Amino acid sequence: MPLVAHIPLPTFEYLHKRGENVLELGQALQQDIRELHVGFLNMMPDSALVVTERQFMRLVGSSNQIAQLFVHPFTIPGLPRGAEAQAYIDKYYLPFEQLKSEGLDALIISGANVANPILEQEPFWKALFEIIDWAAEHVTSVLCSCLATHALAKAIHGIDRKRLPEKRWGVYPHRIAPIDHPLLRDINTRFDVPHSRYNGVSRAQMEAAGMKILADSAQSGVHLAVSPDQFRVVYFQGHPEYDRNSLLKEYKREVSRFVAGERDDYPTHVENYFSPEAAEIVDAYEAIVHACLKQKSTVPPFPEKQIEPFLDNTWLDTGKSIVNNWLGMVYRLTHTDRTISFAEGVDPNNPLGIKTEN
């Protein structure tokens, strides 16, 4: 069912032009279809603010639930912003106080860039903790991405994420757990997910806190997990929202840092991402960079457009399916007045009645 363009957010027009189902507010108000209101807390830095907004809007908009989907973007203080990004936020994003007053059915929290080894030292931590605390009582379910997963694991379960030996950077195969969970309904038993992170929360840490692991990888660790009650919090450590070229842009940024002398080593290939044709272009450009730096000549632009046609997206369909299933859980457990619905005899610690195989 459609996203509803209820505010003049440019992302709605962007998605509409690319074939996504976006409904004008006037049309939506004429239809007798249930609404779901999803908050989107965007904590990404300026350079990724709008792109991340579009990526998560696309995931939500692909849902097949019989509902009109209102997505309410907002952010929090404590995140450094340039003038252009702040102007965009002031124009299109909503105050959290307004969303608290009006209510939300569900909440998505994006990742963020951090500067401190301990999350509690981040300037946005207090504001984020207040939102987490509010959501625990007023939102049916929270879906977290990457850094947000680590933040909620810390805030709710006291789990400290651990620094990885090296950056986990690539596209990795994952398998689902042998559990009958609504999030896993009708998805591939094996699927890819991009990861891009220096830190992680391990399977052992999650299981010790009572979390349920739904999908993990021998190479990249846990991607998908849920809170002990099976639905209140959904944790992503990977990035199923990524575009085909998202990791390429990250690689380009690291190459630029090397050229500028901001890092000593040339970045290695993003794991399991470059096709043979793409790798050939990437390696040829690396040789050119080294030659130009040695000769102290101008380094030519990174060949992004030449590489892109040789990249594959092997994760988006499964990501859409999982988010669709998540919205289905929210739809099932939320009244139209946005209070959680528990039928008589339903166990509040396992409201979905999930059975785990022994």
Which residues carry out catalysis? 146, 239, 241
Element (H, E) at 161: none
Separation of alpha carbons 60 and 244, rounded Å: 18
Which DSSP string do the residues of 91-140 spell out, in sequence order?
Answer: HH---HHHHHHH--SEEEE------SSSGGGSTTHHHHHHHHHHHHHH-S
Separation of alpha carbons 275 and 140, rounded Å: 41
Are residues 104 and 139 in contact, defined by beta-carbon separation less than 8 angstroms? yes
CA angle 112, 113, 117 (to 5 degrees): 115
* Coarse DSSP helix, strand, coil percentages of the chain, rounded to the nearest 5 percent: 40, 20, 40
Those residues with Cβ within 8 angstroms of residue 44's Cβ, 6 or more apart along the chain or in another chain: 51, 52, 110, 111, 112, 113
Are residues 263 and 254 in contact, defined by beta-carbon separation less than 8 angstroms? yes
Separation of alpha carbons 304 and 281, rounded Å: 10
Are residues 220 and 191 in contact, defined by beta-carbon separation less than 8 angstroms? no
